[in-house]
A and B are shown apart, each in its own frame.
Chain A
């Protein structure tokens, strides 16, 4: 934990092991992908799967360690970062498998294999960074890699439009965050969380306005990045334009990483002013839940429905953040974080699962609207059944991960006296029922349009569906498995 000395390789490995594995692999795959002969380029994708698994193994092995043993001054290895990294790697694995499974249908250029790894490395850095510079480097690594990923279909107008839109909006958001952080640096004279925390003790009273400005600029920038309403307007267009695996990546991993960043920043640095920002987050959460779920009602394109639904889901995820008000105890904090993490795991499984089914159906029908799902039950009972499970979980039906996750968030809201948040959570879920059931209805109650030939889906698709469905169900039926891990976690050391 010394700042004065140079890092040894041992310290570097202990603190950044998973990131080094993943980042290093990304460079290797970048070269391998170029030199692989034409027919065998697919191997690069499997190499990236291997890289994620290796990195995941390292990350899991670090989960129990105490914060003092592996951390360095700008980079914490604690339970908080550990569990977020496992979530991010798991979701990345599923997204890469989704990309592999839909290679025929989607023809994603193989650049994605290493771009995703770079993005994920950035995402992991964001969960651990306790230095403003490191943190920003992580954010930009994630952002820049995803700008390219969104626009990976160069010839598709919508993909290019989405890419440009995401580049512009994302850059502005990054700039706003950076602007906010610069005020923080200006007031405290340091980029390190430890030093900033010390300086803030006095600065809150002397530089109040400046610090509030910093706080809210960061919050707005983050709001754009995670597509919280009213900063969500780019979301549906970008999600629609991006290749489906990339959409899943944006919806799950980007959001999780930015949430990790904002949670650590606000809890560790702005904890004293929780009474102020939590009130803003309460409203952010309510508006996001309402806008996301009502916005989905007006959509016909399933990808856009899922985009709006992911906005609504983000609103739910903001609730535990919003309940960290001035009176929150340590116990409340751990409970909030457990609720966020549990819901993120459930959200990752059900969202990636839903996008997997969507990818198959959309390419088969060459259409993305609800009609493409008409009579899916007759054409492919497996796909229809899996989609039903994911949608029911997103809607929060019992026995699914989505239900238990919402229940945790709900308890969290009531425990801290934020009754309105809990009520809005479930009231907007009723609205969500409506549009999820629209898709269910099309799948089960309508006849297929045109010829009802059996829809063949690749084996890898079934693997992804099996993993995501098993995860969704396991979290709903035996949530104790994950709860056990979360309960025993030393969040911040």
Chain B
């Protein structure tokens, strides 16, 4: 079981290599290889999720492969850079999310007919690196895979996107490229700051991996927190660095413009991976490194963080209201919902952190589902533009129904995962920021407004477009929709499905930081 995470991400990587060497016109072979590889990975990720020991808050499923040793990396002591993997209650739900969304993104991409080989090559790389990002137990490993997502997404957008794909891909690359630079500065700065502090306190604190102080291993750094606290000034600076990186990664206002452009100009499979999974990385970083390793920094800037969250909630909501294209609407919905998570993280409450992880998973599933159905509708009608759609509930009852479930889930209807997430988020937020949280609830009211308004225009009224192929969902389209809807409702009705994993970890973090 030790190598499970490694196996999960190696399978799609191997598939990518195989796909690179098959003939250009072997489209079905590329599809088949990608599907099998993604399926195996998904099974592995589910096994990881089921096999996780819920009683423990430590990193599990450790694998470490030493890569290279840098002599004299810190204080004339060596540093071993390794590929290390492991998951805990915070990263496991997101690791599982990759498993669920990736297989459906692969299925969805069956509709790609040009340069199939290239598409699946980059998609396999993207999926493997998303597993790597959430399965990493090492800062270097994490960053390595984050960079790989950047390259893979760039090519997916650039080759397979819509009209303005070159513009969108370049924008994506510049924004996220800059964010990852800032993030790298933060990560390495964090490692060195803890190393310095550990060296200062080395006589009074037991350091298991002494005599080295510098470590890039996340589980090591997390255990530093118990005995070693960084000075307030250092935490402030590092926290601001992380905050900047997260703001860009998550497309928070004022760095939001790249996300709608990206979604509008990407194919649906890529959108499911970007919107459903990649857009959760930034907040994962904030929980992992901001809350757990820089608690004083977060506490110092908590109000600022919450305020930035509220700004994004409201801006996202208004922009979604005005959006004419479904994909832009989903992008702004995402920004708005992620703003909620930001407020909850700033609250530093156990329940808020639990809600944050819930919301990341819930929003990931729902965003993927919505992209999937919207894409399926666009296949048949030839448009993503809301005002050109209409009356679909008659001709496409199944797709319209599933779309409605996704929208209601995002609105936070009781019985869906969105509801339980929002409840936890708001309970946490109200405890710390009553006024800001009250304003944030406006975002939820707006969400109901813009999502249901868009739904109404899409599904009711007279049939507007001459549907090119007006057939309801195919058999193959049922699988993703049924599974995703089942998960959304499953988590909504029986939150412990996720809660049993997250709860312990959130409690442990809150206890550590005294929240």
Contacts and interface: CB of A to CB of B under 8 A. Distances in A.
A143 to B, nearest CB: 34
A334 B72 contact: yes
A430 B70 contact: no
A423 B71 contact: no
B181 A423 contact: yes
Interface stretch (B27-35, B92-100, B182-190): B182-190
B170 interface: yes
Interface string B176-211: 011001101100110010000000000000000000
24 contacts: A329-B76, A331-B72, A331-B77, A335-B72, A335-B73, A397-B151, A398-B147, A403-B147, A407-B140, A410-B184, A411-B79, A414-B192, A419-B185, A422-B188, A423-B185, A427-B181, A430-B178, A430-B181, A434-B170, A445-B159, A479-B67, A479-B68, A480-B68, A483-B70
A-side interface size class: 35 or more
Interface string A229-240: 000000000000
Interface string B62-75: 00000111111111
Interface in B146-163: 147-148, 151, 154, 158-159
A422 B185 CA distance: 7
A437 B70 contact: no
B257 interface: no
Nearest to B181: A426
Nearest to B177: A430
A481 to B, nearest CB: 9
A330 interface: yes
Contact of B75 (A331, A398, A441, A445): A331
B245 to A, nearest CB: 12
A102 interface: no
Contacts of A397: 147, 151
B212 interface: no
Interface string A305-345: 00000000000000000000000011110110010000000
A97 B178 CA distance: 38
Most buried by B among A334, A414, A427, A480: A414
Interface in A432-449: 433-434, 437, 441, 445
A408 interface: yes
B166 interface: yes
B73 A411 contact: yes
Contacts of B184: 410, 426
A415 interface: yes
A331 B73 CA distance: 8
B177 to A, nearest CB: 5
B67 A415 contact: no
A146 interface: no
A397 B143 CA distance: 11
B303 interface: no
A285 interface: no
A25 to B, nearest CB: 36
Contacts of A487: 69, 71
A135 to B, nearest CB: 28
B69 A398 contact: no
Contacts of A329: 75-76
A273 B74 CA distance: 23
Contacts of B148: 398
Contacts of A427: 178, 181
Given A331-B72, A414-B188, 8 more contacts: A329-B76, A397-B147, A419-B185, A419-B189, A423-B185, A426-B184, A433-B173, A433-B177
B71 A338 contact: yes
Closest 10 CB pairs between A and B? Answer: A331-B76, A331-B72, A426-B181, A335-B72, A487-B71, A480-B68, A430-B177, A479-B68, A414-B192, A423-B185
B180 to A, nearest CB: 8
Nearest to A433: B177
B144 interface: yes
Contacts of B482: none
B76 A483 contact: no
A429 interface: yes
A480 B174 CA distance: 31
Contacts of A338: 70-72
A25 B123 CA distance: 53
Nearest to B188: A414
Contacts of B189: 414, 419
A426 B183 CA distance: 10
Interface string A416-430: 000100110011011
B173 A445 contact: no
A335 B70 contact: yes
Contacts of B67: 479-480
Given A331-B76, A398-B148, A430-B177, A415 B192 contact: yes
Contacts of A403: 147
Most buried by A among B73, B151, B166: B73
Contacts of B144: 398
Nearest to B67: A480
A355 B154 CA distance: 25
A332 B69 contact: no
Contact of B76 (A330, A430, A441): A330
Contacts of A419: 185, 189
Interface in A328-374: 329-332, 334-335, 338
Most buried by B among A410, A427, A430: A430
Contacts of B74: 415
B158 A429 contact: no
Most buried by B among A404, A415, A419, A434: A415
Nearest to B159: A445
Nearest to A392: B151
Contact of B166 (A430, A445, A486): A445
Contacts of A331: 71-72, 75-77
Contact of A437 (B76, B147, B173): B173
Nearest to B147: A398
Most buried by A among B74, B144, B189: B74
B90 to A, nearest CB: 24
Contacts of B174: 430, 433-434
A338 B67 CA distance: 17
B414 to A, nearest CB: 44
Interface string A370-402: 000000000000000000000010000110000
Interface string B455-470: 0000000000000000
B112 to A, nearest CB: 17
Given A422-B188, A445-B166, A483 B69 contact: yes
A408 B70 contact: yes
A113 B71 CA distance: 39
Given A433-B174, A434-B170, A335 B71 contact: yes
B402 to A, nearest CB: 35
Given A411-B79, A411-B188, A483-B69, A441 B166 contact: yes
A423 B68 CA distance: 23
Contact of A415 (B73, B147, B158, B173): B73
Contacts of A480: 67-69
Interface string B300-336: 0000000000000000000000000000000000000
A398 B125 CA distance: 13
B99 to A, nearest CB: 23
A243 to B, nearest CB: 34
A394 to B, nearest CB: 14
Contacts of A335: 70-73
B259 to A, nearest CB: 18
A445 B192 contact: no
Interface string B31-74: 00000000000000000000000000000000000011111111
Contacts of B68: 404, 478-480, 483
B72 A332 contact: yes
Nearest to B146: A398
Nearest to B154: A437
B83 to A, nearest CB: 11
A480 B188 CA distance: 20
